[in-house]
Amino acid sequence: MTVLVTGGLGFIGSHTVVELVNHGCSVLILDDTSNSSLKVLDNIRSLCEPTKVEFVKGTILDDSILERAFESRVIDTVMHFAAFKSVKESMTRPLDYYENNVYGTLKLLQHCKKYNIRRFVFSSSATVYGSSPSPLSESSQIGTGITNPYGRSKYISEKLINDFATSSNTECIILRYFNPVGAHPSGLIGEDPHGIPNNLMPFLLRVAQKNHLDPHMDNIYASLSILGNDYNTPDGTCIRDFIHVVDLAKAHVAAYAMASGNGLQCEVFNIGTGKGTSVLELVSMFVKTNGLDIPFVFEERRNGDLESVYCQCKKANRVLNWKAERTVEDIVKDSWHFIQKRSS
């Protein structure tokens, strides 16, 4: 049996492929490389049994590509990571986000039905909670106060999956991520987005790279902008639930194992640490752990940013027998190791 992993060359998908293969699975990656590269495939294969990792290049919007993927192997489980994921970009390209994230999910579900797939694991996001107060549990209200098309695309996709699960034989598991960061301890895979990063950690890493490894990088990376220092938090900066990507990948393996033979229809799990860390605390830990100075400036708040977002993840601890084990120190150490190795 094979696990089909869409977006398997991306940040979270690549780490999950490694963990799945090391768990004993065979994996077929489907990725259009729009925000990744084939070099990632080589690095994945160097971290696990390479003969258990196969690859099809293409988009989930292409029926012929999906048919090729589903026909090529006996697929037991689909893990769906492929999505556009920039909150900022979604504000200017909403239709692209709905097409890729919602319609793409619909196309996958249609193929799950056609090929009688037993398990479907979906990469969702804490953005579905909108403005609900933290700590967020799986029973917290969703869909209210979502401020961007990216979050709405995940919310609509969740509704699609839930309706599909109640009318099919496919077991569905929705994992709501909080803030995935970090990199594989080997330094071989990590977050390396195309273009200017929209998220804190990859931008911080490029600032560190320009200031300490490559001074010829674009001057946009001369310093880090921290958006807002007047929030009602201990240091005035936003609080988020930063989870190491390896812990997140292991949660997918736990979901894969949990789904088997339990007769579930659709289960939802928060995947985070259950602890809040401020933006300034993360930056300070990066400086302290890696012994690097990071120039930064405080700027105005960004519209739509919430003051504090962190989860309650007791359900995942109990039902999946999973919990996050890596620390913020591990996150910043592994992230910088990835950049150093890639730059060498």
CB-count exposure of residue 305 (10 Å: 0-12, 13-18, 19+): middle
Mean local confidence (pLDDT), 133-150 = 96
29-66 pLDDT, tens per residue? Answer: 999 999 999 999 999 999 999 999 999 999 999 999 99
pLDDT value at residue 263: 62
Beta bridge pairs of residue 300? none
Predicted local confidence at residue 260, as pLDDT? 62
Please give the backbone phi and psi of residue 255, each rounded to the nearest 5 degrees, phi first: -65, -40
Domains in the chain with CATH codes: 2-181+242-271 (3.40.50.720), 200-240+274-310+325-338 (3.90.25.10)
pLDDT digits (tens, 9 = 90+) for 322-344: 999 999 999 999 999 999 999 98
pLDDT for residue 140 is more than 80: yes
Q: Is there a contact between 157 and 100 (Cβ–Cβ < 8 Å)? A: no
Contact 249, 16 (CB under 8 A): yes
Please tell me the predicted confidence (pLDDT) of residue 202: 97
Residue 275 CA to residue 180 CA, distance in Å, equals 13
Q: Are the C-beta atoms of 56 and 75 separated by less than 8 Å? A: no
Residues sharing a CB contact under 8 Å with residue 311, sequence separation 6 or more, in sequence order: 126, 134, 135, 136, 137, 176, 178, 241, 270, 271, 272, 273, 274
Contacts of 219 (CB under 8 A, 6+ apart): none
Per-residue pLDDT at 264: 74
Nearest to 275 by CA among 175, 181, 184, 178: 178
**Catalytic residues, which ones?**
150
Residue 203 pLDDT grade (very low, low, confident, very high; cuts 50, 70, 90): very high
Q: Residue 330: phi, psi to the nearest 5?
A: -60, -40
Least confident of 24-38, 216-230, 261-275: 261-275
Specify the pLDDT at position 280. 99
* Residue 304 reports pLDDT greater than 90: no
Average pLDDT, the chain: 96
pLDDT of residue 164: 98
User: Of all residues in the chain, what percent carry a pLDDT higher than 70?
Assistant: 99
Provide the pLDDT for residue 302: 87
Residues near 139 by beta carbon (within 8 Å), at least 6 away in sequence: none
**Residue 98 scores a pLDDT above 90:** yes
- Mean pLDDT to the nearest integer, 18-30: 99
Q: Is 190 helix (H, G, I), strand (E, B) or coil?
A: strand
Q: Which residues contact 318 (CB under 8 A, 6 or more apart)?
A: none
Tell me what pLDDT residue 344 has: 84
CB 201 within 8 A of CB 181: yes
Q: Binning pLDDT at 50, 70 and 90, where does residue 197 land?
A: very high
Instruction: State the Cα–Cα distance between residues 121 and 123, nearest whole angstrom.
Output: 7
Instruction: Give CA 226 to chain center in angstroms.
Output: 22
Whether 269 has a pLDDT exceeding 70, the answer reads yes
Q: Which two tokens stand for residue 279?
A: 């933006």
- How does pLDDT run across 167-180, given as a tens digit for each residue? 999 999 999 999 99
pLDDT of residue 258: 86
Dihedral (Cα; 67, 71, 75, 81), 10-degree rounding: -30
Q: Is the pLDDT of residue 262 over 60?
A: no
